[in-house]
Amino acid sequence: MKKKKFDSFDVAVIGGGAAGLTAAIFAAREGATVVVLEKNSRVGKKILITGSGRCNLSNITLDYDWQLMFRPEIKKQVLRGVQSSKFLVDLSHYYTSSYISDIKNSPANYDNALIEHIFSETLTAKEFFKQLGLKTIIDEDGRMYPHSSSAVSVLDALRLECAKLGVVENVSYFVDTIEGRDGEFYITPVDGSPAEKKVTRVKKMIIATGAPSHVANNTVNALTSNYTDDSGGFSALKFAASVGVKTTPFYPVLCPVKTDKKLALPVKGLRVRADCRILNGNRALLSEIGEVQFGDDYLSGVCIMNLSRYISDEYVKSVSVARKNGGDVSDYFGTPEISLDLTPDFSLYTLKKELTAIATIRESVKLEEFLTGLFNKRVGNEILKTAIPDVKLNTIVNTLTEHQLSEIADVIKDWRFPIYGVHSWDMAQAAGGGVLLSELNRDLQARSSNGVYFVGEAVDIHGDCGGYNLSWAWVSGETAGRAAGKAVIEGIEPSQELHDLIDQKNM
């Protein structure tokens, strides 16, 4: 008998991460035969490390049911017909590389019209996972997690649904090339793949290869786009180019911010709650309150990660200006700093009064114990060393002058760390850049190439920490999966022109 040269399916999903598995489910629900081609030996590896192993799978701000329940002013608008309930989701936590400001408040453009459209047409994460038998819970900050508090159960739920629908998982299949011929696509694995890894022939292709975030030991210099693709993280750019779709280089976002090792190392491993501000000179550019973690040469934590996007954006701009005009990146990057206010709940005046009271209570103890209780001892001592560098820590507290107390209070309210850039891919939780939204139709199908869809982190949209990135993976996977499945089974090709979407938004 002649051996089959190809494995044939209706739809191939390249990349078995959060977006790819979701796309596979929705395509298969339409009745399409679906294969997931995954380069790793198992699918969904990244899902397992999300939310520190708990998987923060969405956020309350994206759940219109919740908004209706707890925001009476909005419920009234919906009841009066002023507002459609599906448009209640808060998209201000999403960004594209062309709109660094939040999408909701940007002028009407294709990117935000498309994103709004996608969120309004898809299931909420709560609904989606309910369909998969996974119960979700919300924490006090509005973050959604699986009830089990385990990322494993999120992956299990997705895989069980894929199995139920007959989705084929073809793992250790590192896609090298994609080629369109006679209305079909031929997908070839890298040279040296086992013989049973045949060329895959499909009618539709969903590219869900993610981005290089959290690629360990990756030596790529993504900011200058010099990369090798042994990680698979850059596959989306390569595949997009091969089907004539425009992209913008990936750059790391949501990453720890590099600082002076001398300042961070002594408090390594500790956490503080602070109002974090990014300063340029003495001008505060942005701020966010939250927990800050200290690493050996970096600051981390949710608020720092969120602020890091602006730093990497500035850094990317500086790299390109330096390339154009010559000189060093640092000539253009400036000298930004992070300022931590360690007592955001009270004013400088109140803090000074508190310190004076503590100084009276602890008048006979050594200075190294002075701030104990207000902060971890190591943090307290670093504050003292910064504020009053000439005073030894074994000095007795009652020798402190009013001026010195005032200097300590100043540092507590404004502890400065120079910014030396951001940590790169190995520590990044998301990527900016990727396939430009303007290249995609409302179903995330490439405008230039019928039958090729892009989803998840491969697309130029990223969100803040808090469940927004996985939410995009679910909704983009649903959109493209459903559309690809429908196109194969019913021959329906939903596509709407750019200006229609913008018109809709501006109505």
Ligand X SMILES: Cc1cc2nc3c(=O)[nH]c(=O)nc-3n(C[C@H](O)[C@H](O)[C@H](O)COP(=O)(O)OP(=O)(O)OC[C@H]3O[C@@H](n4cnc5c(N)ncnc54)[C@H](O)[C@@H]3O)c2cc1C
Contacts with ligand X by CB under 6 A lie at 14-20, 37-40, 45-46, 49-51, 55-56, 174-175, 208-210, 213-214, 232, 235, 429-430, 456-457, 467-470, 473
Check: CB of residue 12 under 8 Å from CB of residue 37: yes
CA–CA separation, 395 vs 367, rounded Å?
6
Torsion sign, CA atoms 346, 290, 305, 297: positive
Structure tokens at 440: 């995609």
Identify which of residues 295 and 467 has a Cβ nearer to ligand X in the complex.
Answer: 467
Check: CB of residue 367 under 8 Å from CB of residue 384: yes
Q: Which amino acid belongs to residue 356? A: T
| DSSP character string of 17-70 | SHHHHHHHHHHHHTT--EEEE-SSSSS-HHHHHGGGGT---EEGGG-HHHHHHH
Question: What CA–CA distances, in Å, run from 290 to 80, 176, 276, 471?
Answer: 38, 42, 8, 22
Q: How far is the CB of 462 from ligand X (least distance, A)?
A: 8
Q: How far is the CB of 233 from ligand X (least distance, A)?
A: 7
Looking at beta carbons, which residue is closest to ligand X? Answer: 17
Ramachandran class of 131: left when φ > 0, alpha when ψ lies in -120 to 50, beta otherwise: alpha
Structure tokens at 297: 């040469």
Check: CB of residue 339 under 8 Å from CB of residue 280: no
Identify which of residues 208 and 409 has a Cβ nearer to ligand X in the complex.
Answer: 208
Q: How far is the CB of 475 from ligand X (least distance, A)?
A: 12
Q: How far is the CB of 210 from ligand X (least distance, A)?
A: 3
First to last CA, the chain: 62
CA–CA separation, 47 vs 332, rounded Å?
37
Identify which of residues 139 and 345 has a Cβ nearer to ligand X in the complex.
Answer: 139
Identify which of residues 302 and 397 has a Cβ nearer to ligand X in the complex.
Answer: 302
| φ and ψ at residue 228, rounded to 5 degrees | -115, 155
| φ and ψ at residue 37, rounded to 5 degrees | -105, 115
Identify which of residues 387 and 455 has a Cβ nearer to ligand X in the complex.
Answer: 455
Identify which of residues 233 and 380 has a Cβ nearer to ligand X in the complex.
Answer: 233
Check: CB of residue 484 under 8 Å from CB of residue 70: no
Helices and strands: H and E segment counts in the chain? 16, 20
Identify which of residues 267 and 470 has a Cβ nearer to ligand X in the complex.
Answer: 470
Identify which of residues 15 and 451 has a Cβ nearer to ligand X in the complex.
Answer: 15
Q: How far is the CB of 253 from ligand X (least distance, A)?
A: 10
Q: How far is the CB of 480 from ligand X (least distance, A)?
A: 11
Identify which of residues 405 and 428 has a Cβ nearer to ligand X in the complex.
Answer: 428
